[in-house]
Amino acid sequence: MIPIGRFNRKIVDVFIAKGVYMNRARGARGVALFRVDKDVDLTLLDLELIGLYLIRSPFRGKHYRLLRALKELEDIKPELKDLTYNLSLMQYKAVILVCKFYYDRLSEDIIKYVAFVSQNPGILTRVSKELVKIGWKREFILDIVPVKRRKLTGRFRY
């Protein structure tokens, strides 16, 4: 790993943008929002049925960087700003997701929305398919997946 002190900050930002310096900061690769309108226990049971489990470990710096994506989601859907919420970490097949539970205004026993942020591409698409199967309503999903380049096969003759 290259020590940051030896480089100009602008150069490091270029490395991050090009993906060269991935250990420095890794941003969100996916954001999803679901409308739930269910009890807290029933919501957690649904998440456990598809393989998402709550983690009791504390937030670290890399997790706080992912919260910027949730702030932008609240700008897209302004009604989320007024709701009380709870932040937690969840695990899905050895991948950590940042999860934000938005509670109903009238009762804090009912979860109105659930938002997920992932650093790994393609994970939220799989999670979304499973959650839609069990009755959750998908409000928004953005999952950045790298495009596979097709190899040109065959022989060309002139």
Q: What is the pLDDT of residue 153?
A: 61
Residue 16: band (very low, low, confident or very high) from pLDDT cuts 50, 70, 90: very low
CA of residue 43 relative to chain centroid, distance: 18
1 or 144, which is more confident?
144
Helix, strand, coil % over all residues of the chain, rounded to 5: 35, 30, 35
Indicate the average pLDDT of the chain.
Answer: 80
Q: In the numeric block, which tokens belong to residue 5?
A: 């002190």
| Burial class of residue 8 in the structure, from the number of CB atoms within 10 Å of its CB (0-12 exposed, 13-18 middle, 19+ buried) | exposed
88 or 11, which is more confident?
88
Question: Which H helix or E strand runs over 86?
Answer: strand 85-92
Q: What is the pLDDT of residue 130?
A: 95
Q: Which residues contact 114 (CB under 8 A, 6 or more apart)?
A: 33, 34, 36, 43, 99, 100, 101, 102, 136
Q: Are 124 and 118 in contact (CB under 8 A)?
A: yes
SS3 94: coil
Q: What is the pLDDT of residues 135-157, one digit of tens each?
A: 999 998 988 877 777 666 655 55
Q: Is the pTM of this model over 0.95?
A: no
